[in-house]
Amino acid sequence: MWLPKPNRKRSARRRGLPLAAEIVLIGVILAGAAAAAPPPGETRSTTPPGLHAGDNIPEFSAIDQNGRTQTLAALAGKNGLVLLFFRSADW
């Protein structure tokens, strides 16, 4: 099998971004990481926001397709209520 001889005149530096662009990119990444860090003495919560499994949902109201205001208490019966949020692939 024939293989070309390596070109020894070519620089050892890999192809890609110029060095100046790499330095700027690294600076932007480091600046973003510093901005995302909490201030000294503070810690950020690691729990995601919103409701968690088993939490009760807060009281809310919404307007239905007929223009009437519906509340959670009006929709929930003695057996409770199931809210299903379904997003189809064609939205």
Rg (alpha carbons) of the chain, rounded to whole number: 29
The values of phi and psi at residue 24, to 5°, are -65, -45
Instruction: Single out the residue of 78, 80, 79, 60 nearest to residue 69, CA to CA.
Output: 60
Can you tell me the mean pLDDT for 61-88?
A: 83
User: pLDDT category, 14, cuts 50, 70, 90?
Assistant: low
H or E element in which residue 62 lies = strand 61-63
User: pLDDT category, 69, cuts 50, 70, 90?
Assistant: very high
The residue among 68 and 52 whose pLDDT is bigger is 68
pLDDT at 10: 54
Summarize pLDDT for 19-65 with one digit per residue, the tens.
777 888 888 887 777 777 777 777 777 777 787 888 888 888 888 89
Q: Within its chain, how far is the Cα of 69 from the centroid?
A: 32
